[in-house]
Structure 1
């Protein structure tokens, strides 16, 4: 009996349910598994058919633990969900493939670029894509008159909106003693996430933007799909010029007066994926089809104007 494994499952119940519905349509006997550092306090783990406790993603025992689960549970598809596990999983793709597990992650070089915001900006600029001017804190201190104030400061390897701040002058630059930061032009305009699906051959099969109407803790809370031609073209162009993407990625863009400006790439499922799923871009189905050797039915015929309004729910269990 084969299975899907969602790693770092946390509270990603919507994602787990998307895979459950996709699996039921393809193979009703397929199990949906989840793992996390703290299974007891993971809502998604409680909703899975079976859950496993694993070390932290940055622990050297993390990959061996996942390989052991995949081997014992006949996992056909492993789906990562957080940035800190992507590089290790990308580097170990062949090890998983050797035991029959397909990992939904891009080429290690692609992941390396996406995990480094400064490098992302350099690569996008080199490819001729519209991206905001980016600076290190040292560059700003040395030449404050040459930067487009105000700036937005972000941890270079951060995610989920952690430690982001607006910087209006040199006195507000972040403390970089603990981690590296990148500073970028503070863009004005509506923010969009553009979800994309790449098949096993690296071909982009769909580009689905949604406007982030309201955000909470770095994740979209209210959003709507929009078939904006400029945003869609930015996605197709990105796919042509930045090789190595596989499976699911998303990128962030601000729709400015000078057009879409791309400022971040995520080499994984975005938090707003359930909106794309509801609009007909069922990435979970397409991943399963490819992992099982079936014909991939990926398409770009998703529904524009699909709205998502999230609310809090709870999982209860007696201790």
Structure 2
């Protein structure tokens, strides 16, 4: 079996998780890593490295198609937000290669946080109301301002008053403003089969975060969150892995849903380590197996703390 990760970058844990899963279920797996730079650390953990144009380059998709066709790639897996629209638009154009991504309609919802908030509300989940003009924002302070299509917490700021809001509105490109929700932050790692049936739902508390990516997390098999996520899955019908961010408000206990990332999140390997092994599940699906939903697959209460390592790349 051959799989290709696009924009593999620093996704060392993810690549390792797939190697370990293949060994566990006795599948001979070759991992291809694609990136724009030879120095991307995750390439050192792939069986094959391919250097590709940047995502906005018109040659990007044709080059991925060429690699998939010539090397007989079974599955193509995106790892960053900026890849998603291009791959969703072309997911049926890769011949025999299965592109692990949800429908274009659903991916488009995720790439604009105004649409995301409206979507959560439409399926009966709470979400902070977004406003895209600081002059008419009236939902109180503190508030939160961020780009409508941002990621990795870039240009995302908590603001305490209208003066700060005006200042940051001049700096943040194409922004939205939402009331700040004071509470516990959660990520939910979700894995579904290729027709949108749930296999794993794993809520975990974000105990520490850096640049939008979790550093320390605790598995929290919270039934309220799991039931709410099942409502989302029923409508969204994800293909493969997605992650959802929410905040449980301290005063009311309500869950306010913030965003959906229709891909493997940076912390996804932590849920895999805890028992919800979506790398193994994906390999089994690609191998033609059918999977059923496994309740509370990840061990409740376990805590994982991440750290940086270095590797010589030249």
Q: Tell me, yes or no, whether TM beats 0.5.
A: yes
Deviates more, 1:50-59 or 1:10-19: 50-59
Matching of residues 13-52 of structure 1 within 5 Å: 13-39=12-38, 41-52=39-50
Q: Find the residue that maps to 2:231 and give its secondary structure.
A: helix
Match of residue 130, structure 2, among 130, 134, 150: 134
What secondary structure does 1:264 align onto? strand
Tell me which residue corresponds to 1:67.
65
Task: Note if contact 2:89-2:104 (Cα within 8 Å) is conserved in structure 1.
Answer: yes
Does structure 1 retain, via aligned residues, the 8 Å contact 2:195–2:237? no
- Of 109, 112, 120, the residue aligned with 1:116 is 112
> Within 5 Å, which residues of 2 pair with 1:1-319?
2-39=1-38, 41-96=39-94, 98=95, 100-136=96-132, 138=133, 140-142=134-136, 144=137, 146-173=138-165, 174-175=168-169, 179-240=173-234, 242-256=235-249, 257-296=252-291, 299-300=294-295, 301-317=297-313, 319=314
Contact 2:198–2:293 under 8 Å retained in 1: no
User: Which segment drifts farther, 250-259 or 176-185?
Assistant: 176-185
Between 287-296 and 212-221, report the one with greater CA deviation.
287-296
Query: Residue 153 of structure 1 aligns to a residue in which SS?
Result: strand
Q: Partners of 1:34 and 1:210 in 2: how far apart? A: 28
Secondary structure of residue in 2 paired with 1:123:
helix
In structure 2, C-alpha distance between the alignment counterparts of 1:248 and 1:226, rounded to whole Å: 19
Q: Please give the secondary structure, in 1, of the residue aligned with 2:236.
A: coil
- SS state at 1:286 partner: helix
Secondary structure of the corresponding residue to residue 228 of structure 2: helix
Q: Distance in 1 between matches of 2:294 and 2:24?
A: 18
What displacement does 1:271 show?
1.0
- Contact persistence 1:77–1:288 (CA under 8 A): no
Q: Deviations over 1:262-310 (max 9, x none)?
A: 1111111111111100111111111122223223365232211221111
- Range 212-221 or range 252-261, more displaced: 252-261
- Contact 2:200–2:278, Cα closer than 8 Å, also in 1: no
Structure 1, gaps ≥5 residues long:
none
Query: Structure 1 residues 19, 123: CA separation in 2 closer, same or farther (over 3 Å shift)?
Result: same
Mark the CA change 1:263 to 1:152 in structure 2 (over 3 Å): closer, same or farther. Answer: same
- Pick closer, same or farther for the CA change 1:114–1:177 going to 2, 3 Å: same
Contact map agreement 2:143 2:158 (CA 8 A) in 1:
yes
Q: Which moved more, 1:125-134 or 1:106-115?
A: 125-134
TM superposition shift of 1:178:
7.2
CA contact (8 A) 2:147 2:172 kept: no
Q: What SS does the aligned partner of 1:94 have?
A: coil
TM-score, normalised to structure 1's length?
Answer: 0.92
Where does the alignment leave 5 or more consecutive residues of structure 2 unmatched? none
Question: In the comparison of the two structures, how many residue pairs are matched?
Answer: 309
Alpha carbons of structure 1 residues 276 and 217: separation in structure 2 relative to 1, 3 Å: same
SS in 1 for 2:93: helix
CA deviation profile, 1:177-213 (whole Å, cap 9, x unmatched): 8731111111111100001111112112221001010
C-alpha separation in 2, matches of 1:109 and 1:73: 30
**TM superposition score normalised by structure 2:** 0.93
